[in-house]
Structure 1
């Protein structure tokens, strides 16, 4: 949720900037190819959404060659592990609340399975979604006003269909201090988890999935329409 749009320094303390995952993995699978022999392509995309994809008020993080959104399987239990290093006090309740909000709104099911010392925020492959906290020294794309990153890794089959198989969310440990004091960390986490599901940024300023957030904390009709489209694609 996080390009730096607009100019000047007007009300900068009130502007929450969160970035969609800037490094996503595409793992191409051919018939009979096991996951240990994959060919991996990494791309960089600061727009957090494919221009022109989606519908009114929403975009998708990635689409297939058939213009279908890339998301998780129908009725998938999306496992989540939390690395608590650098996390704020009460992080477990924060994660539980954010996951509950996303599950209720989306129809997908994130399941927190426990904690981990894993800190592989970039280059993730198949496995649990990792939630953690870091600074810009560890994750350079957290530099500046970016408050969080989130997205999924996915596999593409020989027919062109794709499914998410892993992902990550990393929140900036400096988000609660300095000039970014007072941001709603749960809203940031909700936003990034929705990126993990496959929804990109919205151009509607009041959408929770807008690239810049200056106070919105609830899903709009556009956000919900995008989540519904992901669910339809997952279960088609």
Structure 2
């Protein structure tokens, strides 16, 4: 049985005139639900795709070497969740120049339509987050702002399905699911290559593949270009 990972990308679009300061009261928020396929068709490179792109084809991601704050909501979390989260974040941090950093716990359950601020990481079921219905391991995505200088991510969400039994992923543990969703937050979409952790369907991969690493490197190049 193949487990399908589905992402939920929350897109915040706005226009920044002259000042880089964004008034979120004037920002139009739109929630887009991606299907069970790849990221943007034709985007990325061998073994990876981008979750969202600008009109010019550049991937939407965070600023260069960004420190991305994360708040954890422990409601519904498995035993040992703190170590689980720390290990998943460490895996992503070691593989990229972006840095996820837990800044505390929260009772916030606003998984959708988030404004700028820390990424919210938590656990929920399909009653609370309908897009977790069916064989969905978790959801992940980033919110971003667009302006004259392009697009930049400003917040995000990772939510893991509490209804799935532990070990449901045939050798793919919950840490691998967390890493998969965190890479969505950074800007990677699904790939058709089964040997990658970012494959839409799980085929036993539990570690980052060459395509995953190439995708992270590509995001870094775009984020840090002059």
Name the SS for the 1:136 alignment partner: coil
Alignment map for 1:55-204 (pairs within 5 Å):
55-159=45-149, 161-176=150-165, 183-204=172-193
Name the SS for the 2:100 alignment partner: strand
* Equivalent residues, number: 221
Unaligned runs of at least 5 residues, structure 2 = none
Q: 1:202 to 1:179 in 2, by over 3 A?
A: closer
- TM superposition outliers: structure 1 runs of 4+ over 6 Å: 178-182
The TM-score with structure 1 as length reference comes to: 0.88
- Judge conservation of contact 1:176–1:182 (CA < 8 Å) in 2: no
Q: Deviations over 1:62-112 (max 9, x none)?
A: 000111000000121100000000000000000000000001112210001
- Counterpart of 1:17 in structure 2 is 4
Match of 2:34 among 41, 45, 61: 45
The alignment status of 1:27 with 2:17, answered yes or no, reads no
CA distance in structure 2 between the aligned counterparts of 1:205 and 1:182, rounded to whole angstroms: 15
The TM-score with structure 2 as length reference comes to: 0.92
Q: Deviations over 1:92-135 (max 9, x none)?
A: 00000000000111221000111000111111121100100000
Match of 1:54 among 40, 44, 69: 44
- Counterpart of 1:7 in structure 2 is none
Which shifted more, 105-114 or 161-170?
A: 105-114
Unaligned runs of at least 5 residues, structure 1 = 1-11
How well do the aligned residues superpose, as a CA RMSD in angstroms? Answer: 1.8
